Chain A
Amino acid sequence: MTAVMTESAQSSPQSPRRSTRRLPLALRVLRSPRLARVLFLPAVLIFWLISNKLIADSWGFDSSVLATPIEVWDFMYAEVTGDTVAPANLYQTFGISLRRLGLGFVISMTVGTTLGIGMGLSKAVNAFFHDWVMALLAMPALAWALFLSLILGFGDKGPVWAVVLAGIPFVIVNVREGVRSTPRDLFDMSTAFGVSPLKRIRHVLLPSLFPFLFAAARYALSIGWKGLVIIELFGGQDGAGWTFKFWYDAHRLHGVIGYSMFFVIFALVLENVVLEPISRRVFKWRPSLNQPDIVEEDMDVVKYPALADESLSDRDTIIQEKN
């Protein structure tokens, strides 16, 4: 009985690979997620061209008002090389907006973290701010855009405030939940072993807050960016949102689409070049998401007889990796 179980368990890790090998090459390529990801772009382009044609045919107007993928590409290429008819080129425009975003982000993180910690620690502080944080969460970015440009004018102040007001409620709520969910048992352990309060804050509270601070930063950046573009569009003289509207006013669809693409590229770069590497560094201790979660089953030796046959040191590695 034992022998049969061991044998089946040892062969089982290989069986899925073997079944893939039996499929014909063409079918395997078609089923691969990587190909599906690559295929998305041509699919969009084809859909774009077909709908251009259908719209122009059914409304019967000059199809040159509609932008083709080539026109958008040419526009984006010209912008990237600094050749533009807009008052400021791509780099100046994004420079202005990034400065506003950065300043607003720093303010919303600093003030939001302070308020969040206060609200997480004290019921009275929480009661004082709670309704107003909820009100901020419910406020649409458009309302801030109109309100702030009316009272602060068309300079830098309005956009910076828009970033702060859009992002800060998310920072407050995240940090507050983080403080509330700090591991009590770890604090008790530190107390029982006589660890100093300062060391407890530095090594227990802060690391347990990091995931929440990180989520807060992501929200503050993405929601802040949306708020910024809207206020620049409605009440600005420059910046990414304003330039977007410049192309809209000039009735240049390729400019509108091209600028939206720049927004998308900006978001992707921010995520993959800035946020993701930092998050990987800070959360190195966490088990990665695609790693199989085997520590529980590891105890259940009968279910995984192959594991039971391994030497003790091998199992150690598995558990240490998990931790």
Chain B
Amino acid sequence: MADIKISNLHKEFGVGDDKVVALENVNLEISGHVFVSIVGPSGCGKSTLLNILSGIETPTSGSLTITQAGAQAAPGYVFQAARLLPWRTVMDNLLFVQADKSSETRARCQKYLDMVQLGDMINIIRTSCQVVCSSASDWRARWRPMLIFMDEPFSHLDAITARSLRRELHSMWAATKKTIVFVTHDVGEAVELSNRILVFAQGGILKDDINVELDFPRDPSDEAVAVAKANVLKKFEELDLLAT
């Protein structure tokens, strides 16, 4: 479990006439064993927020703290597409993000590779392996990140594969005490997986913060889930986020 505190977070790209506001004064707290989805149209700053949280980008202003049991957290990141070093083997790719290369680490990497059966889902799976066996200087304390960022990880998969992976992801989250921040543009996916949905609008404005109180596992064909999805979509309409 991790705690994220974001206050007055502001991010701009470019200068002068080319200036684009990616995030506008975002205030947010995420803590505990939660699955938070961030939804919104393309270009609303969803990925930028994840990049700032993971340290790839620095905010223009505002403050941000990510803690795990009182100490600085080491989050994992699942990117939208596979980010592998093509000149390294799968195992070496996993070891690349490890501070310690002991036989224990290798065995752990092997375990997760076996678990995900490198099949036709190879791209996404390889990336998620990087997360599960994520980097750590003190691997005992954080050898499996308790905080995971995911940036539209299922968006380039076919519907059936994505569905089974969503189920796996949910059961992994439920079995551990992880905090997951999940970016998606698919409202159905967000409703199926998360207990909290953050709605962003163009210009990086946090429009709404919806709690989804439904029992897991949520089947997309289940009536209650379909109703919840319709309710979230209705909020989108109220906020005028859907293209007409």
Seen from chain A, the residues whose Cβ lies within 8 Å of a Cβ on chain B are 185-186, 188-195, 199, 203-204, 207, 285-286, 298-299, 312, 315-316, 319-320, 323
- Chain B residues near A190: list those with CB within 8 A: 96-97
B83 near A189 with CB under 8 A, answer yes
Q: Contact at B85–A193, with CB atoms within 8 Å?
A: no
Q: Once the chains bind, are A298 and B96 in contact (CB under 8 Å)?
A: no
Which residues of chain A have C-beta atoms less than 8 A from B130's C-beta?
189, 193
Given A192-B75, A192-B77, A312-B117; 5 other pairs, CB 8 A cutoff: A185-B79, A193-B76, A195-B135, A203-B96, A320-B90
Shortest CB–CB separation between residue B12 and chain A, in angstroms?
19
Q: Is B230 an interface residue (CB 8 A)?
A: no
Q: Decide: A188 and B85 in contact? CB cutoff 8 A.
A: no
Interface secondary structure of A, over-half rule: helix
When the two chains form their complex, are residues B135 and A298 in contact, meaning their CB atoms are under 8 A apart? no
> In chain B between 52 and 96, which residues have their CB closer than 8 angstroms to a CB of chain A?
54-56, 74-77, 79, 81, 83-88, 90, 96
Give me the interface of B with A, judged by CB distance under 8 Å.
Answer: 51, 54-56, 74-77, 79, 81, 83-88, 90, 96-97, 99, 117-120, 122, 130, 134-135, 137, 149
User: Can you report 12 A-B residue pairs in the complex whose CB atoms are below 8 A from each other?
Assistant: A185-B81, A188-B51, A189-B97, A190-B96, A192-B55, A192-B75, A193-B134, A194-B55, A203-B85, A203-B96, A285-B87, A312-B119
**Known contacts being A185-B79, A191-B56, A193-B135, is A315 close to B85, with CB within 8 Å?**
no
Whole-angstrom distance from the CB of A68 to the nearest CB of chain B?
Answer: 52
A50 to chain B, nearest CB (A): 52
> How far apart sit A315 and B135, CA to CA, in the bound complex (Å)?
30
Q: In chain B, what residue has the closest Cβ to A316?
A: B118
Q: Evaluate whether A299 and B120 lie within 8 angstroms (CB atoms) in the complex, with A188-B83, A191-B55 already known.
A: yes
How far does the alpha carbon of A195 sit from the alpha carbon of B84 in the complex, in Å? 14
The distance in angstroms between the C-alpha atoms of A199 and B98, with both chains bound, is 11
B229 shortest CB reach to chain A, Å: 28
A199 to B96, CA, bound (A): 9
User: What is the bound-complex CA distance between A323 and B122, given in angstroms?
Assistant: 11
